Chain A
Amino acid sequence: MNPLERYAPLVDDREAFFDACERPLPSVVRVNTIRSTPDRARAALDEEGVGYEEVDWNPELLRLDERGPGTSWPYFHGWLHGQEEVSALPAIALDPQPGEKVWDSCAAPGSKTTQLSAMMDDRGVVVGNDNNLGRLSALRHNAERLGVTNLVVTKQDGRNFSLKPFGFDEFDRAIVDAPCSCEGTIRKNPDTLDQWTLEHVHSVSAIQKGILSRAVQATKPGGTVVYSTCTFAPEENEAVIDHVLETEDCEVVAFDCPLESRPGVTEWEDDEYDSSVEQTHRIYPHLNDTGGFYCAKLEVTA
């Protein structure tokens, strides 16, 4: 059975959901504002005759007509980075400011990390962490290509991350773009679900709880933590938020989601979650013609 059948009761338009999951994903690039501006990037694409369409909610995102972004002058110059539209959301929810200290706990290959740096005008510090060495080298390559200078790269297990290498002991903000069962990337990788098991969902959920707990602990009181996944499983989304609401000093805060979304669910199978998870966002592929996504924003209370 298609594992996505589990979520049919959660979506309003079952047919549109399954249809969207079968279509390939549009090719989207983000303009790297460390190196260029949306105006110049568009002018360069025009000069080269590469067709695109602006994403209506964000001038920094361009939907390309055809080929991937890899072979164009603005890409060569690090003005563009291939990044799925919905993947731009967590950094926007986090809203990092120039000069702040920000932790990206699961950073590789760095789409969101480099977006955070750009939003901070490449000032302050972004600590990009991952526990996978091969993926970290992709992160390093992307950061170099995009001209990011405010990034510290570490290789630690996010669950017991240590700030010892740094000259500070708490972050202003943190982002947990967690490892997950990736159901929402089905449009990019059609065989994602071949490996799907409920056991994996449960084991990855435990890791997610561990990393998100550490992120709340490592962030200053009043600071912001954003949690995101590219999966539909409530075990990996609302259940993880519900867990940290109980075990750590934090609360869910609402944020304006620029994409059409559905509220987080408070009930799933035999479980019930804190009612505040209704302020978190579920994004299904058919709502905005994107991948599937989940995003929650937390404020650290003590």
Chain B
Amino acid sequence: MSDPETDDTGEGSESDEENLRDNVGQRFGRLPATSADREVKGRASREEVVEFFNERFGIEPAVFEDFSFWEKGKGKIWIFAADNPSPVRIEGLGMTVLRTRQEHWKPTHSAVQRFGRHATKNVIDLSPEQAATFARGEDQDLPEWDGDWGYLIAAHELAGEREPVGVALYVYDELRSTVPKGNQEALSVL
């Protein structure tokens, strides 16, 4: 294919980080299956992404079996329902799912809304008042949580079932809402 992301010099597949090509901003590159297959510097592998969701939230790897994972720009990971030749220059490929290349990987709001119901841990169940505060994008004191710090899935009950609201950041007895500005909403206390 044209527009390769890796050098086609045939100099072998030794994974010397120095020889890896830089990630290029405006195109999507498929994540390598494992870190041993890595050809783009700093790019997460599919295995690491699936493992992240499993370890942090207990989401079974089987949930992601039929999807492919892509990086566009440094550390912006997208999830796509099918596959496509890589790399590819287009405007969008599936949905954003994760930010890597920072100390703590952060799932996106849309990823948590779409896949969060498969989570079995690090889910914090909010009361109706807390959920409304969270959806407005506001931080709140929540000293009673005695689970992990870091990124959590905030959930509430709607129409008789648990439904993820968004990504929370829990630090120092405080629950911070990371609901993106464009999605924040003043909603009723159910």
Enumerate chain A interface residues (CB-CB to B < 8 A).
Answer: 34-35, 40-41, 43-44, 47-49, 70-78, 122-125, 128, 136, 140-141, 143-145, 147-155, 165-167
Contacts and interface: CB of A to CB of B under 8 A. Distances in A.
Contact of B158 (A47, A70, A149, A154): A47
B188 A70 contact: no
9 contacts: A40-B159, A49-B188, A74-B158, A125-B82, A143-B92, A145-B183, A148-B94, A151-B95, A165-B89
B91 A141 contact: no
A152 B92 contact: yes
Given A144-B95, A153-B90, A167 B83 contact: yes
Given A47-B190, A140-B91, A147-B113, A165 B82 contact: no
Interface in B146-190: 158-161, 163, 165, 182-183, 185-188, 190
B159 A76 contact: no
A152 B90 contact: yes
Nearest to B163: A77
A149 B67 contact: yes
B90 A148 contact: no
A145 B159 CA distance: 19
Contacts of B93: 152-153
A70 B91 contact: no
A149 B95 contact: yes
A153 B81 contact: no
B88 interface: yes
Nearest to A41: B159
Q: From B91, B114, B185, name the one whose CB has the most chain A CB atoms within 10 angstroms.
A: B91
Given A40-B159, A147-B113, A149-B80, A71 B185 contact: yes
Contact of B187 (A72, A125, A144): A72
Nearest to B87: A165
B81 A78 contact: no
Contacts of B19: none
B85 A147 contact: no
A44 B185 contact: no
Nearest to A98: B81
Contacts of A40: 159, 161
A167 B81 contact: no
B77 interface: no
Interface in B65-90: 66-67, 79-85, 88-90
Nearest to B166: A76
B44 interface: no
Contacts of B82: 123-125, 150
Contacts of B122: none
A180 to B, nearest CB: 23
B100 interface: no
Nearest to A47: B190
Contact of A143 (B66, B67, B95): B95
Contacts of B67: 149
A48 B66 CA distance: 36
A71 B136 CA distance: 11
A47 B89 contact: no
A45 B158 CA distance: 10
Nearest to A75: B185
B90 A47 contact: no
B84 A73 contact: no
Given A125-B81, A149-B79, A78 B113 contact: yes
